[in-house]
Amino acid sequence: MGHYCYLLECADGSYYTGWTLDPQRREKQHNSGRGAKYTALHRPVHLVYIEEVPDLSSALKRERAIKNLTHKQKAALAKNYRQAIMNSTPKEVTVLSPGRVNLLGEHVDYNDGLVFPAAIDREVTIHAVALEEPVVRINATDLNESVVFCLEGLDKKIDVDGSPLPGWALYPAGVALVLQSHGLKVSGCEVEFTSTVPIGAGLSSSAAVEVGFAVMWEALGGWKLDRITLAQYAQEAEVKYAGVNCGLMDQFAAANGVAEHALLFDTRSLEWKPVKLPKGTRIVIANSGVHHNLASSEYNTRHNECNQAVEILKRSYPAIKALRDVSPEQLEAAKSDLPENVYKRARHVVNEYKRVLKAVDYLDKNDSKGFGQILFETHASLRDDYEVSCPETDLLVEIAQKIEGCLGARITGGGFGGCTVNLVKEKAVDPFIAALKAEYLARTGIDAAIFPCKAAEGAHVVQSVH
């Protein structure tokens, strides 16, 4: 069994040195707060150097030697290692990229707010083989569709035959164009991808595809981005190429997921930290069977209504930059200046920001009941103020609230259909799913897909062939 010495770069730029039998697993432990006291206080951390040694004795000696290096020398060690990796690009890679469920902070990411998503163990699997020619051939197995497009002229959004790209292909093609625009190498490749993330269900299947393809091209191209920048490039593809005026949350979660943790993410400062989910509970997803299409739905309208609220509020409060900066008292004082629909949208965002802070405080105290109640409150706000729910998701929440063991439930994702997220006591998961499924079927005729899930790791390469 191999032994490895490793360097982690911490959030503040410092380095942590250790040894392990499994560097990638050890990185996850450090990011979950279980690795060392130092890294727990300086998360997130990133693995920047790995050195294999023959045995434990050698590992301990090499660990001491690396610890004795200066910060500058450690930085040089990491840089040389990164360069060596870049000079050895794989010819074939397999990438896993997760969907996400947003627990709280819905529709506040494009208002500079705090969000609380978790990557989940439903993912896109991308298998790619590098090609010499500048074309991308993609077989979407689940859709039983294929597309071939050239890496030149991507702005035209056409395939090699001059036909418009199908909607699903806009996501990988958009990522390729954005990466090229930032000076990054994008290789031609032959790709097959499958997905266990339901499409149009509010679990960010599009972000999983975008981030997964970005990680794929990162591996094939031999370059390296920090995961916030990679998420921003994926978001840019969705906004500018696919036409969905989304915030950063979905791509962030897909890129930065931490197993067993939700992610408290400040969309203004881009600071984040993993937060342990409540003990003795499970997340259960219920798919209403009502599909949405964010690019053609009211999603962009809601974004514009929030911007309108900010412009009106600025007349009285010039320091305001986004709805995140507005207090409930300021909003109420300006109520008469706002159109009714704009006021209601702003009220949801302003109160949701407060709910996220309150919910994290509950989790710090392991108060799963208090946390669950916040989920119910958020659903009511999304239904009545933001008006992005629908009868089917309202019914799922109504039924769930009456089932023993359910601590909280709400619609999740962009809205207008899709899924609900439920916080359920672990021992009650199976009877909860059976009861929710049966009553929903009886009242709607829809056989809903309902499944438990776990918080999972962000997008990563699981296999590469050089």
DSSP codes, 418-448: SEEEEEEEGGGHHHHHHHHHHHHHHHHS---
- Model pTM score: 0.79
For residue range 332-378, list pLDDT tens digits in order: 999 999 999 999 999 999 999 999 999 999 999 999 999 999 999 99
The 3 state secondary structure assigned to 292-304 is: CCHHHCCHHHHHH
Number of domains in the chain: 2
157 and 180 together in one domain: yes
Q: Clarify whether residues 57 and 194 are in a common domain.
A: no
Question: What's the pLDDT score for residue 359?
Answer: 95
Instruction: Note the pLDDT of residue 295.
Output: 45
Instruction: Please indicate, yes or no, if residue 40 is contained in any of the structural domains.
Output: yes
- Is there a domain that residue 351 lies in? no
Residue 117 covered by a domain: yes
385 belongs to the catalytic site: no
Domain assignment of residue 67, yes or no? yes
The pLDDT value given to residue 1: 53
Residues with pLDDT less than 50, the chain: 295
Q: What is the model's pLDDT at position 294?
A: 54
Say whether both 70 and 100 belong to one domain: no
Looking at the structure, tell me whether residues 116 and 8 fall in a common domain. Answer: no
What is the domain-level CATH number for residue 143? 3.30.230.10
Is 368 a domain residue?
A: no
Residue 372 Cα distances to 29, 117, 377, 416, 423, angstroms: 27, 15, 9, 22, 6
Report the alpha-carbon distance of residue 407 to residue 424 in Å, rounded: 6
User: Is 96 inside any structural domain?
Assistant: yes
**CATH number for the domain that contains residue 23:** 3.40.1440.10
74 and 100, same structural domain?
A: no
| Runs of H (alpha helix) within 42-120 | 56-67, 71-86
Domain span holding position 32? 3-86
Marked catalytic residue, from 109, 112, 250, 325? 250
Indicate if 162 and 117 belong to the same structural domain: yes
